[in-house]
Structure 1
Amino acid sequence: MADSPAAAGAGPAPRTSVLVVDDGTEVAHHHWEPDTGVDPDPVPVVLQHGFSAHTLVEWADRGTVAALTAAGRRVVGIDARGHGMSGKSPDLARYGEPRMARDLRAVVAALGVAAVDLVGYSMGAVVALLTAAEEPAVRRLVVGGVGAGVVEVGGVDTRVLPNDVLADALLARDAGPPPPEVAGMLAFAAAVGADFPSLAAQARAAHQGGVDLAAITAPTLVISGDDDPLARRPHVLADAIAGARLHVVAGDHGTAVGNPAFRAAVVDFLRG
């Protein structure tokens, strides 16, 4: 792993490291320490962002990192391959949430800790669910921005956001106005400087093979926005995970994750 400086949009800058995983992809992960004067929790919180975002814009700029460090948590945010500071490629064979889950587990192994709390949003929620189904080191799990689609479709709800339509729009973004269902996502991706060929590859490779939800034994919180079309009927997902809790906040897919009630629910749940 090599360390390099990185600037966050809010709060102290993280220490950023790069792990080269088994297929040669560089996976960036950002580290924040607990605030001084706070009794620290020895279990780090690992954050996995959603499609087209990255750690700094999804978790640091929106206040989740600061809320966790103020609660005494060490935080590690992973930039998924094709996103943020991690390696890029237009090759769809290098993508998919199961591949990202392997990257996440490699980062957790490199941390050298016995347990982690894991938080994922949207695409990152599917990555987190796949990880928690196989990784005994996950102590507590929070998944947001997903709902019945995980159970009924096998991943992010492509009934709402068809992946082929999204990929085509990403690759032909100058060919005319995008379809309304993807216009907002394209605008966000452009605003954060995302790599469109990498995003198109991930869109086409998005996991639809289901998650072994019965294998998840970590206490789990499902959290969703009340106006999020990608997280419709979140109770279906919560009911499919033994003992899972459901929490609904105000917001759509883009705004719920920035709602103060969202991060308060995450901090409270991870506090146990």
Structure 2
Amino acid sequence: MNLNAPAFTSFVHDGVNLCYFDEGDPSGDPVLLIHGFASSALVNWVHPGWLKTLGDAGYRVIAMDNRGHGGSDKPLDAEAYRPWVMAGDLVALLDHLRIPQAHLFGYSMGARISVFAALAHPERIRSLVLGGLGIGMTDGVGDWDPIADALLAPEVEAITHERGKMFRAFADQTKSDKEALAACIRGSRDLVARSDMGRIDAPTLIGVGTKDDIAGSAQELADLMPDARALDIPNRDHMLAVGDRVFKKAVLEFYAELASR
């Protein structure tokens, strides 16, 4: 298995071509990884070492480039990025791979998409790991319109919004389609009602960096759910928490505990 560049393939759902990789042990428990905004399966899961970590632990590791990202198609209509639409892509991938149930692990926007998938198709979800998004899932994470504006700004120097500047730099670094990302950020911000979080009974681990100024409290979100726990990822911000070794260790322990239930 080439951990630097896993083999991607694709399938079509709802007229959108979606790229994914399927690595690790084919007989292992499947873990479906859902990356964050302006990222990709490679940037979010391969480069920070998650494919190696989970693959070495015996899991079947699957990750998709969300629509608008990586090698997948990039619609320019914000409505194409509603979280329940993107959650439908995940379930369609499980159908395509004939996987009846999987562990879902989403980071940031991917955590939101995972929750929408768990609400619509609870029977397909073995567990949830939600990274980089705490109570912001229900209460919002601030005004993201300036981020869409920053993505579309002709001159980087003209961007004054700090978070917008950060995401524009990230989008440039990942060579992303900035017009598609602007549509995505405008369409993908639907909140989840607190009462709906309480309906999700899949075992859940919520990991947020202690320096993350976007996610909101992991513990507050966990408190809304019947079988959830919070993890503080020490001294990590929103961008750096994803690959943290404390996070990796906690996820592996969480999965090992589920296997013994």
Whether the 8 Å CA contact 2:153–2:159 is kept in 1: the answer is no
Q: Distance in 1 between matches of 2:204 and 2:197?
A: 11
- Deviation, 1:258, is 1.5
CA distance 1:180–1:209, shift in 2 (3 Å): closer
Between the two proteins, the alignment pairs up a number of residues equal to: 252
- Deviation, 1:90, is 1.8
CA distance 1:252–1:209, shift in 2 (3 Å): closer
- Deviation, 1:271, is 2.2
Name 2:3's counterpart in structure 1.
Answer: 11
Q: Deviations over 1:196-215 (max 9, x none)?
A: 00000011112324252122
2:58 alignment partner, one of 64, 68, 72: 72
Whether the 8 Å CA contact 1:163–1:206 is kept in 2: the answer is no
Whether the 8 Å CA contact 1:55–1:77 is kept in 2: the answer is yes
- Deviation, 1:12, is 5.3
1:247-266 equivalences in 2 (<5 Å):
247-250=231-234, 251-266=236-251
Is 1:268 equivalent to 2:253 in the alignment? yes
- Deviation, 1:218, is 1.0
Name 1:129's counterpart in structure 2.
Answer: 115
Structure 2 counterpart of 1:142, which letter? V
Q: Distance in 2 between matches of 1:235 and 1:133?
A: 20
Q: Deviations over 1:80-131 (max 9, x none)?
A: 1000111012221211221110111100111112220110000000001111
- Deviation, 1:178, is 3.8
Q: Distance in 2 between matches of 1:42 and 1:258?
A: 22
Structure 2 counterpart of 1:113, which letter? I
Q: Deviations over 1:212-241 (max 9, x none)?
A: 212212100011100001122221111111
1:245 alignment partner, one of 216, 223, 229: 229
Structure 2 counterpart of 1:108, which letter? L
Secondary structure, counterpart of 1:215 in structure 2: coil
Secondary structure, counterpart of 1:221 in structure 2: strand
Name 2:180's counterpart in structure 1.
Answer: 198
Q: Distance in 1 between matches of 2:7 and 2:251?
A: 23
Whether the 8 Å CA contact 2:4–2:47 is kept in 1: the answer is no
Q: Deviations over 1:158-204 (max 9, x none)?
A: x2xx2211111111141613411221111111101111000000111
Q: Distance in 2 between matches of 1:69 and 1:33?
A: 5
Name 2:203's counterpart in structure 1.
Answer: 219
Name 2:22's counterpart in structure 1.
Answer: 31
Q: Deviations over 1:51-75 (max 9, x none)?
A: 0000001100001110000000010
- Deviation, 1:42, is 3.3
Whether the 8 Å CA contact 1:15–1:30 is kept in 2: the answer is yes
- Deviation, 1:11, is 1.8
1:18-167 equivalences in 2 (<5 Å):
18-22=10-14, 24-34=15-25, 42-135=28-121, 136-153=123-140, 157=141, 159=142, 162-167=143-148
Unaligned runs of 5+ in 1: 1-7, 35-39
CA distance 1:167–1:117, shift in 2 (3 Å): same
CA distance 1:106–1:203, shift in 2 (3 Å): same
Which aligned runs of 4 or more in structure 1 are off by greater than 4 angstroms? none
Secondary structure, counterpart of 2:189 in structure 1: coil
Unaligned runs of 5+ in 2: none
Structure 2 counterpart of 1:264, which letter? K
Name 1:183's counterpart in structure 2.
Answer: 165
Secondary structure, counterpart of 1:267 in structure 2: helix
Q: Distance in 1 between matches of 2:233 and 2:126?
A: 24
